Each structure stands twice: as structure tokens, then as C-alpha cells.
Amino acid sequence: MKKLYLFLFVLALFASCEDPKNKDVAAQYLPLSAGKVNMLAVVMDVDQWKGKIGDSIRNIYGAPTDGLPMEEPLFSLKQINPELFQGIITHYRSVLLVESSDKKQYEVRENVFAKPQRIIYVSGSEDEIIQQLNENAESAIEVFKNNELISKQRFINNALSNDKTLEETFGISLNIPSVYKMVKKEDNFVWYERKVKNGTMNIIAYTMPYGSIPKGDATVDAIIQMRDSIGEAYVPGKDPKTMYMITEKAYAPYLYEAEIDGKFAFETKGMWEIYGYQMAGPFINYAVEDKANNRLVVVEGFTFAPSEDKRDFMFEIEAILKSLKIQK
């Protein structure tokens, strides 16, 4: 059965490497991929899963997600025995295939059995498999996360809001689901909210002068100062006169460089809190350079949902924010 499984997989790999035109045509007839958000199907023997290879996979793909109040893994891992990887089971969106073999191999393939789908195939001896997993960890996580993002954005696009406030106020657009409702609009601030179990998911947008966030050692402090000033002005707590949103002081934010709509952006992940009140949660912020209009376009999402897992809430927000388009 394992030889049959490997034969079918290799056959599919070869098929996926054919002429790009034929590949595109074939992809049109593939079924839609399946699986919960940020779930990684790991196809390997159960003994390997319980051993050193499984430990390596858990250390890499089960590592904590940045910017959350409690530890939540990058991916929810689902081990599948190789002989069961057939039929509808092959339609999982993100798949890691691991096999003991005399041949050392690492392959990344897309849309093999379904779409959108990414499959990473790793083979070799135990040491070779572990080595390849570790050497390719960063790029593999990016492959799977980007695939999850594509799928989430496609799902979001099925039920978009018709609200034009962002376009009319800032000359920008975001693919915001219709379940988000605008709750505040000022001259330089727009706020959307979605009700979820035990709380809310939120998206805000505003602009800042171009160059107001320097590149270098002062970047994080400038972003914190920006967030805190906006929070004090527009995001009140229970008592609007004395309580407002700020960046939580106990946790240093994570700062990355990103690209949104083909433009440079600072990506910041961290924790927010309400000054003077016990209320907090995670945020993700993008400050996007809009040189043509001499400004920074800032889009941010934050969640308040006590006792609820927040990884997938924040992933939805990230998918929305990364859909930003700035009008020419």
C-alpha cells in the first residue's frame, strides 16, 4: 500500500511539472482544497510521528505564533498514515509528506490534487529528513502560510461589504467581509467592527505624514507613539475621558518589513491594552508608504475576545489588511 501511495504521488508530481499551459488547464478541473484555517496535514508513519522526525515537525510547525497573548501554534497539526492518503483525503490545502527512502529529496508542489494546495515532500534517512526539515523551515512556513492566506482571501471575497467609506475618505480599498460594520468615522479615522463569540474583531484605518516613522533603531518607538496617539484620540475605553487604547508596555512588539500593494510597509504585531482599565488583546498594524500622495496609509486590526483562541481571528484580519489597494 505504501509503494502504491508513493507511486501515485510521484505520478502526480511529474504531472504537475508538465508544460505550464497544460498545467493551467488541468488546474481548472481540480476540486477545491479543504481543511480548517492554518491546519497542516502531515502524512507519515505513526512511528516516525512519535519519534525524532515528529519532534522536529512539532518544533517547527507547532512553534508559537508571534504577537498573541497566549501561546498558540503556527499550525494545527494532523498526522495521517500514508495508506490513508487517498481520495478526498488528498484534498487538504496544506500537506507535508514525509517518507523514509534511500533517496534524499525535498520538493514543493502546488495544486497537485486540489486548489489552492501546497505539498512539500521530504524523503531520505531519518537524519537527512530532519536536516532538510530544519534547513527549509523558514521557507516552508512561508509557503504554507501564503497558501492559507490565498485561501482565506478567496473565502472573504465571496461576501464583501459594499461600504465605500474607505474609498471616499482615503482613496483606498480593503476587501472587508459584510459581517464587519462601520462603527466610527472621523476626518482621518475609520473603524469597522465584527461581533464574535465573547468579543469583537476590529479594523481601523488612518493616515500619517510621509516620513513620520523613521527607518532604524527609532522605528518601533515611533510606531508605538503613533498607535498610542491614535488610540487616545479615537479608541476609548469604558470611560472615554480617562480610558483609551495604547500599546501594552509589558510586551515588546514584533517588527517586520513587508510589501502591501507593491509598496514598502512596516508590519508590527503586538499587544494592546486600555489605559486605566483591565482590557487587552493582540493587534497587527501595517504602515504603508504612499509616496505618490506624500503620506503613510495605516491599516490595523485588533481583537478582544477573552478566553477565546485568537490565532485564526488575527489571521483573518491579516488577510483583509493585505488586500489593501491605494488608488493612483
**pLDDT value at residue 5:** 56
Percent residues over pLDDT 70 in the chain: 91
**pLDDT value at residue 267:** 98
Per-residue pLDDT averaged across 100-129, rounded? 94
Per-residue pLDDT averaged across 66-72, rounded? 95
Per-residue pLDDT averaged across 34-49, rounded? 96
Q: Which of 9, 20, 16 is nearest to 115 (CA)?
A: 16
Model pLDDT for residues 163-220, shown as the tens digit of each residue: 999 999 999 999 999 999 999 999 999 999 999 999 999 999 999 999 999 999 999 9
Q: Is the pLDDT at 17 greater than 60, yes or no?
A: no
pTM of the model: 0.91
Percent residues over pLDDT 90 in the chain: 88
**CB-neighbour burial class of residue 245 (10 A; exposed 0-12, middle 13-18, buried 19+):** buried
CATH number, span 165-326: 3.40.1000.10
Residue 216 and residue 204: Cα distance in Å, rounded? Answer: 25
**pLDDT value at residue 28:** 76
Model pLDDT for residues 250-303, shown as the tens digit of each residue: 889 999 999 999 999 999 999 999 999 989 999 999 999 999 999 999 999 999
Residue 7 and residue 135: Cα distance in Å, rounded? Answer: 26
Q: Is the pLDDT at 327 greater than 80, yes or no?
A: yes
**pLDDT value at residue 299:** 99
Residue 176 and residue 160: Cα distance in Å, rounded? Answer: 6
**pLDDT value at residue 326:** 97
Residue 147 and residue 149: Cα distance in Å, rounded? Answer: 5
Contact 248, 272 (CB under 8 A): yes
pLDDT band at 1 (very low <50, low <70, confident <90, very high): very low
Contact 272, 202 (CB under 8 A): no
**pLDDT value at residue 7:** 45
Residue for grid cell 501561546: 71
**pLDDT value at residue 249:** 87
pLDDT band at 4 (very low <50, low <70, confident <90, very high): very low
CB neighbour list of residue 18: distance below 8 Å, 6 or more residues apart: 26
For residue 94, what are the β-bridge partners? 118
Give me the residue spans of the domains in the chain.
Answer: 2-156, 165-326
Mean pLDDT of the chain: 93
Using DSSP, state whether 180 is helix, strand or coil: coil
Per-residue pLDDT averaged across 134-142, rounded? 98
